[in-house]
Chain A
Amino acid sequence: MIRMTGIRKEYRMGDNIVAALDGVDIHIRPQEFVSIIGPSGSGKSTLMNIIGCLDMADEGVYLFDGQEISDYSEDELAAIRNKKIGFVFQQFNLLPKLTARENVELPLVYQGMSAWKRRKRSEEVLERVGLLDRMGHKPTELSGGQQQRVAIARALAANPSLILADEPTGNLDSKTGAEVMRLFHELHEAGNTIVLITHDAGIAAQTPRAIHIHDGRVLEPAGEGEVVI
C-alpha cells in the first residue's frame, strides 16, 4: 500500500535549512492498522502530509497504491486525495455551515457523483458510524465524539484505499476517545487500511504495529516483525 524509500523534506527557517524528514523508509501493507508515533517536532506531521498527498517530498521515492507520487500537479494530487485517501483530523475539520450529511457528501460532490447516489452513499456510511439519526444536524449541534464520527464517515464516503487519521482522539475525552478507537478497530477488521498519527503511546499501543519517529528518522520497528528501517 505504502512504500517510502529515502524520503527527505527540508524547511528553511531563516538562514538555516532544517530537515523535517531525513531519509525515511516505511512500508505499510494493505489492510494494516499502523500508528506513527513521535513527539511534537519529530517530523510526524510532515510525514503525514506526504503520506496524505498534501505535500510532496524533496527527495526519495514514495509509492502509494502502486503509484509513484512525484512531480504531480496540485490537481492530480487533489484527485488522489479525493478518491484514495480519507482524512480524519484532530479538530474534526467539518464545515460548520453544512449538515452532517452534506459534510459526508462533500468528497463525493468533488467526484461529480449524482445527488441520488450521494444520498445513498452518505446514508450508508453514516449508518456505519451510528449517526444516521443525526444526519440533518450541523456540527455545532453535535458532541465532539459525534463530530469525529461524522468526520470518519466523510473519510469512508469515497471508499478510499487508505484512512489517514491525525490525532483523532486528541480533542476528545478518554471515554469518547475509546469509542472512536473502537470504531477504527471495527473498520480495520472490515478490511480498511488505516494509518494513525499520534504522540500518545497509549493510543499507539492499541494498534497492531507502531512506527516510531524521532528527529525526522524512523527509530525502530515495532509490532509484529515486519522490517521497518
Chain B
Amino acid sequence: MQTISMAFKAIWGNKARSFLTMLGVIIGVISVTVLVAIGQGTTASVTESISSMGTNLLTVNIQTRRVGFGGRNNRSGGGKGTVILRLDEILALEEDETIDAVSPTVSGSLTVKAGNTNTSASVMGVLPAYQHIINQGVQAGRYIIDADVENRSAVCVIGTELAQTLFGNTNVVGNSVHVNGRKFRIVGVLESKGTSMSGSSDNTIVIPFTLAQRMLESTSITSFYLSAVDSASVDAAQTAVERFLYKKYQNESTYSVMNQTQMLETISETTGTMSLMLGGIAGISLLVGGIGIMNIMLVSVTERTREIGIRKAIGAKRSNILMQFLIEAVVISGLGGVIGLAGGYGLMRVLEQFLDMPLEMSMGVAQLAIGFSMGVGVIFGLYPADKASKLKPIDALHYS
C-alpha cells in the first residue's frame, strides 16, 4: 500500500516526464483497441452485407482456361482452346427445380463522367434477375429490364454513392452519364447497401449484361450468380451447378461454386488475418512504449541514487527498493493503459463519423490491452528496479 502511494507521489512529482513516458503505452493501447475495433467492425459490416444478399445465393467464378500458350488473336479470352460458356447455357440452369434464378455478371472498372466530374467506378453488366438474386433493388426509377438486355440499350442504374459523387444528390433519374465515352441514360438508383468486401456496392453502376459484355470485350461468362428456390435447396442447387460445370469443363480447378456460408468463412478468415496483423502492429508499438519506460526508469534510478542510499541506510531492504521502482514502472504503464483505453474510446467515436461504421470496444481487447501494458511495465521495469536494489548504501549515499 505504502509503496503504491509512494509510486504515485513519484509519478505526480514529475508530471511532464511521467506523461511523456506513458505516451508510448498510451499510443500503443489506442492503436491496439482502435485497430482491432476497426477489424471487427469491418468483419461485422461485411458479414451483414453478405447476409443481406440472402442465404439462397450461390456464386460461381470461372477461371478462363487456355490450352497451351493461348492463341495470337486471343485478347478477348475467347480464342482457340478456350471453352466458352454462353448465356443460354447458364440460363438453362433455371430449368433445374432447385434453382430459382440465374444472372451472369461481367464487371470492370471504367471511367464514369457526368458534366465535368470524372470518377472511376465499378461497372457491372447484369440480367434483370440479378436484383432478386442479391436482394438489391432500386430506390427510385426502375431496374434493368429484359428489353434493355435484348436491345443492348444504353441505360443504367446508378449506386447512391456514385450519384452523390457525380451529381451531388441521388435524385438523378433521367440524367445521363458517360461510361468510357458512351452516353447512358440513368433509369434508376440502387438501394444503398453500405460497404462490402469488394468495395462499396453503392459505388457501382449497373448496365444491361449484353452491352457490358461488348464494352468490356468479353465473350465468355466468367462469373454468375444464382439463387436457390429456398435455403433448404441450396445444397442441391450447388450440386446441380457443379455437375453442370464439371460436364462442361471436365476439371474442377477451373471453376468455384460458393454458397453464402462458405463465402462468410472465406471472408472471416481474411478479416481475421487482417485483425491479427493490425493487432500485431499495435502490439509492437506497445513494446516500443515499454522500452521507453525502461529508458526513463534507468535515468530515474541514476538520478535518485542518493535517495536510494538514504532509504537503504535507514533500513530499506533490497526487496523494498526493488518493489518501489517496479511498482512505479507498473503504475506508469498501467496508467498509460487506462488513459490509452479512454483515448481509444474517444478516437472510435470520432472515427465512426468518418468511416460510417459502428465501432465497439470489446471487453476482451480492453482487458488484454491493460494486462499487456502492465506486463510491459513489469518486464521493462524489472531491470532498472534490480539495478536500483543492488546499489550499495555507502556508494549511493556519497553519490552527488
Given contacts A79-B317, A81-B314, contact A109 B2 (CB under 8 A): yes
* With known contacts A49-B394, A93-B397, A97-B9, A110–B313 Cβ distance under 8 A: no
CB-nearest residue of chain A relative to B314?
A: A107
Question: When each residue 38-57 of chain A gets 1 if its CB lies under 8 Å from chain B and 0 otherwise, what string results?
Answer: 00000000000100101100
Which residues in B have their C-beta under 8 angstroms from that of A107? 314-315
Q: Is the CB of A95 within 8 A of B307?
A: yes
Given A95-B307, A97-B9, A109-B2, A55 contacting B394 (CB threshold 8 A): yes
B13 at the A/B interface (Cβ < 8 Å)?
yes
Interface residues of A in 59-103 (CB under 8 A from B): 74-75, 78-79, 81-83, 87, 89, 93-95, 97
A83–B315 contact, CB under 8 A?
Answer: yes
B319 partner residues in chain A, CB cutoff 8 A: 75
Segment 1-46 of B: residues with Cβ below 8 Å from A: 2, 9-10, 13
A89 CA to B393 CA, complexed, in Å: 14
Asked if B256 CB lies within 8 Å of chain A CBs, one says no
User: In the complex, what's the smallest C-beta–C-beta distance from A53 to chain B, in angstroms?
Assistant: 9
On chain B, which size bracket covers the interface? 20 to 34
- CB within 8 Å of B: which of A102-158? 106-107, 109-111, 115, 154, 158
Q: Which residues of B contact A82 (CB under 8 A)?
A: 314-316
Closest residue of chain B to A82, judged by CB?
B315
Cα A169 to Cα B307 in complex, Å, equals 21
A26 to chain B, nearest CB (A): 19
Find out whether the CB atom of B394 lies under 8 angstroms from the CB atom of A110. no
B10 partner residues in chain A, CB cutoff 8 A: 97
Q: Summarize A's interface: helix, strand, loop or mixed.
A: helix
List B contacts of A110 (CB < 8 A).
Answer: 311, 314-317, 320
B310 at the interface (CB under 8 A from A): yes
Q: CB-CB < 8 A to B13: which residues of A? A: 97
Q: Which A residues lie within 8 Å of B397 (CB)?
A: 54, 89, 93
Question: Which residues on A sit within 8 Å (CB–CB) of B307?
Answer: 95
Chain B residues, CB < 8 A from A87: 313-314
Q: What number of A-B contacts does a CB cutoff of 8 Å give?
A: 56
- Distance of A72 from chain B, by nearest CB (Å): 12
Q: How far is the CA of A89 from the CA of B316 in the complex (A)?
A: 17
Interface residues of B in 287-322 (CB under 8 A from A): 306-307, 309-320
Residues in chain B near residue A154, CB distance under 8 A? 314
Query: Nearest A residue to B3 by beta-carbon distance?
Result: A109
Main SS of the interface on chain B?
helix
A45 to B397, CA, bound (A): 12
Q: How many angstroms between the C-alpha atoms of A106 and B314 in the bound complex?
A: 8
Partner of A81, one of B315, B318, B320: B315
In the complex, which residue of chain A has the Cβ closest to the Cβ of B313? A87
Of A89, A94, A111, the residue contacting B315 (CB under 8 A) is: A111
Q: Is the CB of A54 within 8 A of B394?
A: yes
Q: Which residues of the partner chain B approach A52 to less than 8 Å between Cβ atoms?
A: 313
Q: Which residue of A78, A79, A93, A109 is within 8 Å of B310 (Cβ)? A: A93
CA distance A55 to B312 in the complex (A): 12
* Distance, CA A30 to CA B307, complexed state (A): 31
Q: A6: shortest Cβ distance to chain B, in Å?
A: 22
Nearest-neighbour CB distance to chain A for B317, whole angstroms, equals 5
**Residues of chain A contacted by B393 (CB below 8 angstroms):** 54
Q: Which residues of chain A have C-beta atoms less than 8 A from B313's C-beta?
A: 52, 54, 81, 87, 93
Residue of B nearest to A118 (CB): B2
Complex interface: chain A residues within 8 A of B312 (CB): 78
Contact status A95-B394, CB under 8 Å: no
By beta carbon, the residue of chain B nearest A105 is B2
Interface centre among B311, B318, B319 (most CB of A within 10 A): B311
Residues of chain B contacted by A93 (CB below 8 angstroms): 306, 309-310, 313, 397
Chain B residue nearest in CB terms to A48? B394
Residues on the A chain within 8 Å of B309, using CB: 93
CB distance from A201 to the nearest CB of B (A): 24
Separation in Å of the B64 CB from the closest CB of chain A?
Answer: 76
Nearest chain A residue, comparing its CB with the CB of B390: A74
**In the bound complex, CA of A74 to CA of B317 (Å):** 8
What is the CA–CA distance of A111 and B317 in the complex, to the nearest angstrom? 10
Residues of A within 8 A of B316 (CB): 78, 82, 110
CB pair B394 A78 closer than 8 Å: no
Residue of B whose beta carbon sits closest to that of A83: B315
Given contacts A95-B307, A97-B10, contact A74 B318 (CB under 8 A): yes
Contact (Cβ within 8 A) A106 B394? no
Contacts of B2 in A (CB 8 A): 109, 115
CA distance A58 to B159 in the complex (A): 90
Cβ-defined contact, B9 with A95, below 8 A: no
B130 to chain A, nearest CB (A): 73
A146 to B6, CA, bound (A): 24
Q: Distance in Å from the Cβ of A137 to the closest Cβ of chain B? A: 16
Q: Which residues of A contact B317 (CB under 8 A)?
A: 74-75, 78-79, 110
Tell me the complex Cα distance, A79–B310, Å: 14
Residues of A within 8 A of B310 (CB): 93-95
Which chain B positions have C-beta within 8 A of A89? 397
In the bound complex, CA of A94 to CA of B307 (Å): 8
Chain B residue contacts of A49, Cβ below 8 A: 394
Q: In the bound complex, what is the Cα–Cα distance between A207 and B312 (angstroms)?
A: 29
Residues of B within 8 A of A79 (CB): 315, 317
Smallest CB separation, A76 vs chain B (Å): 9
Residue of A nearest to B316 (CB): A110
**New A-B contacts (7) at CB < 8 Å, excluding given A54-B394, A87-B314:** A75-B319, A78-B316, A81-B314, A82-B314, A82-B315, A94-B310, A97-B13
Could you write out 8 A-B pairs with CB less than 8 Å apart?
A: A81-B314, A82-B314, A87-B314, A93-B397, A97-B9, A110-B315, A110-B316, A158-B315
